Every structure is written in C-alpha cells, then in structure tokens.
C-alpha cells in the first residue's frame, strides 16, 4: 500500500476508535479502565498489521510522531481534554502509558525491520496480556501485593502470564516451530515479561513488556530444547526463592520481582559468576534489620536501581565491548552492601566506629569468596577493600545532606559505588 494512504487509513481508524469509545463511555457501557483498555487492545490489533501496511520504517516513525502529538493534545489541549479526556485519563492514576505505547511500536518496527513474527509477537503480548492483567485484576483481584506505587493482584499477574503464553506460543506454532520448543520458549518469555509488568509503574510496562519480549524471543527462538529446560528450571528456582524470602525483604513485592528479573539478566547475559554478587547483596539486604533502628531504608524501585545499575553497566560493557568489568562490578556490589549496613546501624551504635564493620561485611561477603576461588587476584582484592572503604567514607560525610528528597540518597549511593568501581578498573 502507498505509505501515505496507509498512514491516512490508520489515523482515520484511530479517530473512529476514539469517537466510538467516547460514545460508549458517555452511555456508561464502559468503565474508565474498560475504556482505556479497549483503546489499548484495538490500537494494538491495528498496529499488528504494520508489517503488511508499511515497507519502510520512516512511515511508521512519522505515524508515531503523529500519534504522540494527538495524545499530547488529548492530555493538555482544553477542548479536546474536555471531550475525550475520560477515554484515556479517567482511571484516576498518574500514567503516561498511552504516550509510551506509540514510542514502543515505532522502535519495535525499526528494531525488527518490519519482520512480521518478530514484530507481531511483542505487539500481541503488549496488547492482550497487559490489558487482560488490568481487567482481571480490577474485577476479580482479591489477593493483593504492593508494587512501587499502589497495589496489583496475583490474579491479574497470572492472567498476564497465561495470555502472554498464548500470544507467543500460537504465532510460533503457526509459523512452523515445533510445538514443544514453542511451549518452552513461550513459558520462559511469559514468565519474565510477567515479572517486568509487575515491576513497572506509571505506564512503563508499555516499554518494558515489548522490548523484554523481543529480546527473549531473539534469544530463545533458536535455542535447543535442553537449554530452554534449564531456563525453566532457573525460573522455578526463582519462584521458590521468592516464596521463601518475600516476607523477609525490605523491598516491596513489585520491587522484588524487578530484582529477580535483574538476577535473570545477570545469569544469562553474563554467567553464573556474574550473578553471585548481586544474589548475595539481595539475600543480605535485610540483614541489618537484626540491629534495626529508626530510618529503615525506603522499599522502592529507587533502591533497586541504585543497587543494580552500576554492576549492570559493567556487564553491558563486558558484553558489548569486551571490557573486563567483573572485578569493578564486584566492588560496586560490595560498596552498596557496606553502605546499607552503615545507613541502618549508625543511628544506634555511633558514627565512625561502624564504618569498619560495615566495610568488612561488604568486602567479606562479596569480594573475599572470589579471591579465595581464584577469580580475582590478591592485588585486586586488596585494592577493592580500599575502594569499599573510600565509598563508605564518602557516603558517611555526605549522608547528612542526602536525607531529602529520598532520590538524592539513592543517586549518591549509585554514584559512589560507580566511582570506586571505575577506580578499581583503572588501577
């Protein structure tokens, strides 16, 4: 089809959809959540046709820009907001999900070059699994867990899991992939995307879900069945781990799901050696509660990002450019564990006196085992001890200035961990 005619067709269909949902909403045929998810699903079905409507990415990107302009107008333009604001914005919560949706579609089309299977599967998961989770959770959700903002339900998450499995399994089988291999790949993808959706906030699942689906589809699509069985075994192990530690963590449930996704990334983008240090930090995160004092750490995604981003950056540098970032990643994890202990302990037991045991715990739990096993040299182990102490001292002297707002505290911790890990790399 001529790209301009195709763009006009898609924009006309979107306009008709908005008028139709507005008409149904005004007659109380659709709830606020129902209206939002109806638009979400029908837009997703429409965008799933893009590989057959468009040959070049430029047309999809122009269409993405047009959708963003329209959605921003619906959100901020007075007359449009008055007439159509309850179609997408009537759910009573802050979300930019409708803005992320066209961005995800445009980037997906570029990344897949319009290849139908690679494009359609992430779009189907984004379209139906996310909508099913919201609708089931809203209507039948009884068993709640705390996400980073508000609550989600186990019923909604299980609905996401089942729907995502179907959205991956059916296209793979229809395009000639063996049924057992397709089922194993679909189960892996559905489980991890469910965790990503449970972790997301403010509509970011519209970015997390499709890109996670595409990444895992490319990894698992051609892997042997034996490898997929191994991945499923790890996911079962994570499920058991979650059941054991969920009540002991200082993390919200949604944040803990995000931590499990990050551990999965370390295990399969890196290796078993890369996952040990983050896993140790996760397990020891609640340890200072044995000496609990006022000022317990915030249980939010800010903490997770602060812990995870420095070692994830070193993992990416190793994978993409061959940078030997294993030891610096260990130092970042050890420094974070030491800062956790100092931030909780210091109020009860003093100031400088607690820096030594905090630094010792961070080094002994993260770096010492790697030195004993021969994965790092004695010289690196010694330099790492100095680096952890340096991060702890910087955190100690800056802590009084980092109390409010809370993001400054976590940003500073990530910055100190990153700086000392860089110092170890260049030493």
Residue 346 within a domain: yes
* 3-state class (DSSP) for residue 252: coil
Query: 56 vs 274, which has greater pLDDT?
Result: 274
pLDDT at 420 over 80: yes
Output the pLDDT for position 294. 42
Domain count, the chain: 1
Beta strands in 226-333 (DSSP E): none
Q: Let me know if residue 120 belongs to a domain.
A: no
Q: Is residue 241 part of a domain?
A: no
Q: Within a domain: residue 411?
A: yes
Give me the domain span that covers residue 385: 272-427
Higher pLDDT, 232 or 248: 232
Contact 25, 35 (CB under 8 A): yes
Indicate whether 276 belongs to any domain: yes
Per cent of the chain over pLDDT 90 is 34
Note whether 197 and 130 are within 8 A (CB).
yes
Kindly write down the DSSP assignment for every residue of 159-201, as one continuous string. Answer: HHHHHHHHHHHHHHHHTT--HHHHHHHHHHHHHHHHHHHHH--
- Residue 381 inside a domain? The answer is yes
Q: Average the pLDDT over each of 82-86, 199-203, 284-288, 383-387 and give the range with the smallest value.
A: 82-86
DSSP 270: I
User: Do the domain assignments include residue 322?
Assistant: yes
pLDDT digits (tens, 9 = 90+) for 283-308: 887 665 544 444 444 467 888 889 99
**Tokens 């709640």 belong to which residue?**
144
Residue 395 and residue 344 in contact, taking contact as beta carbons nearer than 8 Å: no
Buried b (16+ CB within 10 A) or exposed e, 94-107: ebebbbbbbbbbbb
Residue 373 lies in a domain: yes
The pLDDT of residue 95 is 62
């Amino acid at each position: 089809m001529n790209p301009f005619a195709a763009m006009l067709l898609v924009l006309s269909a979107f306009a008709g959809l908005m008028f139709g949902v507005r008409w149904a909403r005004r007659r109380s045929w659709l709830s606020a959540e129902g209206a939002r998810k109806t638009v979400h699903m029908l837009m997703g079905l429409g965008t799933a046709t893009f590989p057959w409507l468009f040959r070049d990415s430029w047309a999809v990107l122009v269409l993405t820009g047009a959708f963003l302009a329209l959605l921003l107008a619906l959100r901020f333009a007075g007359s449009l907001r008055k007439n159509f604001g309850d179609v997408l914005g009537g759910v009573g919560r802050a979300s930019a999900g409708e803005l992320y949706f066209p961005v995800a579609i445009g980037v997906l089309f570029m990344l897949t070059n319009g290849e139908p299977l690679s494009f359609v599967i992430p779009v189907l998961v984004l379209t139906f699994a996310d909508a099913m989770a919201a609708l089931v959770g809203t209507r039948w959700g009884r068993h709640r867990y705390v996400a980073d903002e508000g609550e989600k339900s186990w019923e909604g998450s299980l609905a996401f899991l089942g729907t995502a499995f179907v959205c991956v399994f059916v296209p793979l089988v229809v395009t000639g992939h063996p049924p057992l291999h397709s089922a194993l790949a679909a189960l892996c993808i559905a489980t991890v995307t469910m965790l990503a959706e449970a972790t997301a906030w403010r509509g970011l699942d519209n970015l997390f879900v499709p890109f996670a689906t595409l990444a895992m589809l490319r990894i698992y699509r051609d892997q042997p069945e034996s490898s997929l069985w191994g991945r499923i075994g790890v996911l079962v192990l994570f499920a058991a781990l979650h059941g054991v530690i969920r009540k002991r963590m200082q993390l919200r449930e949604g944040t803990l799901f995000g931590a499990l996704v990050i551990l999965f990334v370390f295990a399969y983008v890196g290796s078993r050696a890369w996952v040990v240090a983050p896993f140790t930090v996760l397990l020891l995160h609640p340890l200072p509660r044995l000496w609990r004092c006022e000022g317990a750490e915030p249980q939010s995604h800010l903490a997770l990002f602060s812990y995870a981003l420095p070692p994830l950056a070193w993992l990416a540098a190793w994978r993409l450019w061959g940078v030997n970032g294993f030891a610096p990643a260990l130092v970042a994890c050890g420094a974070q564990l030491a800062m956790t202990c100092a931030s909780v302990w210091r109020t009860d037991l003093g100031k400088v006196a607690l820096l030594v045991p905090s630094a010792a715990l961070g080094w002994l739990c993260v770096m010492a085992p790697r030195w004993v096993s021969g994965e790092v040299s004695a010289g690196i182990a010694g330099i790492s001890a100095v680096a952890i102490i340096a991060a702890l001292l910087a955190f100690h002297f800056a802590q009084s200035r980092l109390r409010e707002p809370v993001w400054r505290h976590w940003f500073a911790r990530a910055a100190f961990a990153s700086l000392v890990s860089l110092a170890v790399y260049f030493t």
